[in-house]
Amino acid sequence: MHKRILIVEDEASIRDMVAFALRKAGMDAAHAADARAAQMAISERVPDLILLDWMLPGTSGLELARRLRREELSREIPIIMLTARGEEMDRVNGLEAGVDDYVIKPFSTRELIARIKAVLRRSQGDDGSGIVELGGLRIDGPAHRVFAGEDAVPIGPTEYRLLFFFMTHPERVYSRAQLLDHVWGGSVYVEERTVDVHIRRLRKTLEPWKLDDMVQTVRGAGYRFSANT
């Protein structure tokens, strides 16, 4: 049950270093030196997580991240960005592209491993059954159904995807752009305000069970799904 991590990084020393640390932590490490190689590696075998260097020769890491989010095959793969010490700008742009986390170089391997585990835990949320339970709400991936306690919750397709994303990524703020990337997919263009409307619809759906306050507004930042009020 080893997790497979794909490292996309052109500098060999960092690549070796990271691969070394990953193996030590009981994960399988694959690597690619540029965007092309990365896409080939992914199509060959889908990794559980991708470590992506911000600076790549040719197609930049950010661009690659966007592309991966657009493809059906790679949309669900969590991405951690490796960025050189720089501005908040980088951070913002990276998050906009639907990146799950980012680590600033130089990082200690222990820190990196900790982040990887955190992201894997978060993006799994489930024990492999595809069923996630949180604060009185239960979502069944394979069955495509939602339960509040014992009751089945009637829910539309988009609201379902939105709720699924939230339940697998709770206790964390996501901007409207991020939600669009993760829930709608990167290739569609819709207004950011549209997210508001679907948030509203999701809340309305959860209202009969008084669970609507799990969907929380963070003014100026986005939305958060939380079991705590």
Partner DNA sequence: GACCGTTGTCATTGCCCTGTAACACTGCAC
Partner DNA sequence: GTGCAGTGTTACAGGGCAATGACAACGGTC
Q: How far apart (Å, rounded) are the C-alpha atoms in residues 75 and 78?
A: 8
Task: Report the candidate in 19, 48, 51 with the shortest Cα–Cα distance to residue 121.
Answer: 48
**Looking at beta carbons only, is 36 or 150 nearer to its own copies?**
150
Name residues contacting its own copies, limited to 93-122 (CB under 8 A): 93, 95, 100-111, 114-115, 117-119, 122
Is there binding between residue 219 and DNA (CB under 7 A)? yes
Count of all residues that appear for the chain in the document: 229
Which window, 2-10, 33-41, 138-146, 194-202, contacts its own copies (CB under 8 A)? Answer: 138-146
In the list 198, 211, 214, 225, the residue contacting DNA (rule: CB under 7 A) is 198
According to CB under 7 A, which residues from 149 to 168 bind DNA? 156-159
Burial classification of residue 148, based on how many CB atoms lie within 10 Å of its CB (0-12 exposed, 13-18 middle, 19 or more buried): middle
Secondary structure (3-state) at 30: strand
Residue with tokens 């592309």: 67
Distance, in Å, from the CA atom of 155 to the CA atom of 136, rounded to the nearest integer, reads 16
Q: What is the rounded CA–CA span in Å between residue 93 and residue 30?
A: 26
In angstroms, give the least distance from the CB of 186 to DNA: 13
Residue 207 structure tokens: 């209202």
Q: How remote is the C-alpha of 104 from its chain's centroid?
A: 18
* Closer by beta carbon to DNA, 119 or else 195: 195
Binding site for DNA (CB under 7 A): 156-159, 184, 188-191, 193-194, 196-201, 203, 217-222
Interface ranges with its own copies (CB under 8 A)? 13, 16-17, 20-21, 23-24, 85, 89, 92-93, 95, 100-111, 114-115, 117-119, 122, 127-129, 140, 142-145, 152, 156-157, 171-173, 218-221, 224, 226, 228-229
